[in-house]
Chains A and B, each alone.
Chain A
């Protein structure tokens, strides 16, 4: 199997799962798909390096999140200049009000909190692993998780019942 075929194999196995995680990280299916495809494109261009990674899916997730984060920064700058254009998100026709509310709530969270939520609840990483991946102290990860979940619950008008620090797995 050459390097390109290796990337394609990972693409077939991991694309959907990564898009699912990035949707929560970005609050947008379109942004998630674009970020994940961008990550695979970079994997193709660095196929030899990519093939030597211990965990290709984790590598792709990091790259995709970095892509989404940097685009988010650019969009933020742009919307700062053009405030009237901000917030004009369109949704699929079959999006339910509940789904739209969840996506809107996710978009209002700081990106760092969204990332922590994705890595902990969807990628099943422990706090220590998230801290290592993001290069921040474990305490920071715990705070982001705690604050992110609290803010999400508040935005959705839910009772926040899963906030206790005991539920954050330190690993």
Chain B
């Protein structure tokens, strides 16, 4: 396999090299378009602002202050308030945008190759302009992972030199071993096979060791009752879902049948058991399997889910299906519609809105937040309970 790829690359390298003047011409064209675009943008902002004021639903007026700077979006469902926020970032290149649960946004901006500025902001209240610099990280590290929690976020940065450092919004306490996860905790996987739990109530961090497994653990889920769920797969063998009630000391394995083992998006929590979205090798959603006792069964194929199946693809690894903190579910289909399902039944779906392409999504009981793939625009839906829409 590797030889064939290398051969393909080498053959491509034999193609004629275009004259450098073609690149120069292209660069000049970019500069001309950029200058024209700046002039046009000034007109669009003025005109677009007027259009937005005329077309936004009345209840959206209470969403403070919203700037509609892109093309108009299709109408939203009547009960959903929707707003867009122009993030107060206008320089540099966005390196990473993470919408973290439960409603925080972490944005890492690259100002120049030799220094990185990290910005973060809370979006629970939806106050635009609340983003502020959290710290400056030098020597070119990039984020290796982040976790949001109620009063801030924790982000790990990994440098090419192997060094890592973390920034967070609250006090950070050295890791300690404990025997059982605490409810109301946030966790993240570590590269060494363990995972880390943050306990917001006490601002404590805990470290858990997990067995080194083959296939590797790809996803983790920690329930309020303290049960750890893991998903192991390598794309070849049937995936294994395992659970532990005692902090990782003993495990019960729940292998998925081979015909249900293709690709997996994440682990979901539903009605007291675990759920797994199953994708085909083509990256298209086939079903959502839930563990019923010791059997895996598909979510009932009636209702809108039947219409969704086959329309959800794993697009460039972007999150398009995720569990909400209350057990509900939201997904974004290939047409960039955002759907949500009530916590008690994943067979009752409602279209929340149709959006522009979204880079990242997160949500809580009554707030859904997305970050547009222009890396500048945040989308927010507030003022309605997910349950009311179910």
| Chain A residues near B (Cβ < 8 Å) | 4, 7-8, 11-12, 15-17, 19-21, 23-24, 29, 32-33, 37-38, 40-42, 44-45, 49, 52-54, 59, 69-70, 72-73, 76-77, 80, 99, 102-103, 108, 110-112, 117, 121-122, 128-129, 131-133, 135-140, 142-144, 146-147, 149-156, 158, 160, 162-163, 165
B9: A residues at CB distance < 8 A: 20-21, 23-24, 122
Q: Which residue of B lies closest to A116 (CB)?
A: B317
A102: B residues at CB distance < 8 A: 4-5, 8
User: Among B26, B112, B334, which residue has the most Cβ atoms of chain A within 10 A?
Assistant: B26
- The 15 listed contacts between A and B (C-beta, < 8 Å) are A4-B24, A19-B12, A23-B8, A42-B27, A72-B316, A80-B335, A99-B11, A110-B283, A122-B5, A128-B158, A128-B162, A139-B191, A143-B216, A156-B1, A160-B236
| Contacts of B106-162 to chain A: CB distance below 8 A | 108, 112-114, 140-145, 158-160, 162
Known: A52-B112, A53-B113. A110 touches B317 (CB 8 A): yes
Q: Which 7 A-B pairs have the closest CB atoms?
A: A20-B9, A147-B235, A112-B317, A44-B27, A23-B12, A41-B26, A150-B235
Q: Are A111's CB and B143's CB within 8 A?
A: no
Out of B6, B108, B160, B314, name the residue touching A129 (CB < 8 Å): B160
Please report the C-alpha to C-alpha distance between residue A25 and residue B36 in the assembled complex, in whole angstroms. Answer: 32
Q: How far is the CB of A6 from chain B (nearest CB, A)?
A: 12
A150: B residues at CB distance < 8 A: 234-236
Q: Which residue of B lies closest to A167 (CB)?
A: B2
A121: B residues at CB distance < 8 A: 2, 5-6
In addition to A16-B13, A23-B9, A45-B30, 14 A-B residue pairs with Cβ atoms within 8 Å of each other are: A16-B14, A24-B8, A45-B27, A99-B11, A111-B316, A121-B2, A128-B162, A131-B144, A131-B158, A132-B160, A135-B144, A143-B216, A146-B235, A160-B1
Interface: B218 (CB within 8 A)? yes
Interface: B315 (CB within 8 A)? yes
Q: Are B282's CB and A108's CB within 8 A?
A: yes
Q: Are A20's CB and B216's CB within 8 A?
A: no
Q: How far is the CB of B172 from chain A (nearest CB, A)?
A: 19
Out of B2, B143, B189, B214, name the residue touching A135 (CB < 8 Å): B143
Q: Are A19's CB and B316's CB within 8 A?
A: no
Q: Are B216's CB and A165's CB within 8 A?
A: yes
Q: Which residue of B lies closest to A53 (CB)?
A: B113
Q: Are A32's CB and B142's CB within 8 A?
A: no
Q: What range describes how many residues of B lie at the interface?
A: 35 or more
Please report the C-alpha to C-alpha distance between residue A133 and residue B189 in the assembled complex, in whole angstroms. Answer: 19
Q: Which residue of A lies closest to B97 (CB)?
A: A135
Q: How far is the CB of A165 from chain B (nearest CB, A)?
A: 6
Q: Are B8's CB and A137's CB within 8 A?
A: no
B11: A residues at CB distance < 8 A: 20, 99
B14: A residues at CB distance < 8 A: 16
Q: Are B23's CB and A41's CB within 8 A?
A: yes
Known: A45-B30, A122-B5, A132-B159. A33 touches B18 (CB 8 A): yes
| Contacts of B1-44 to chain A: CB distance below 8 A | 1-2, 4-6, 8-15, 17-18, 20, 22-24, 26-27, 30-31
Q: Are A122's CB and B6's CB within 8 A?
A: yes
Please report the C-alpha to C-alpha distance between residue A158 and residue B4 in the assembled complex, in whole angstroms. Answer: 12
B281: A residues at CB distance < 8 A: 151, 154-155
Please report the C-alpha to C-alpha distance between residue A16 and residue B9 in the assembled complex, in whole angstroms. Answer: 9
B2: A residues at CB distance < 8 A: 121, 162
Q: Which residue of A lies closest to B236 (CB)?
A: A150
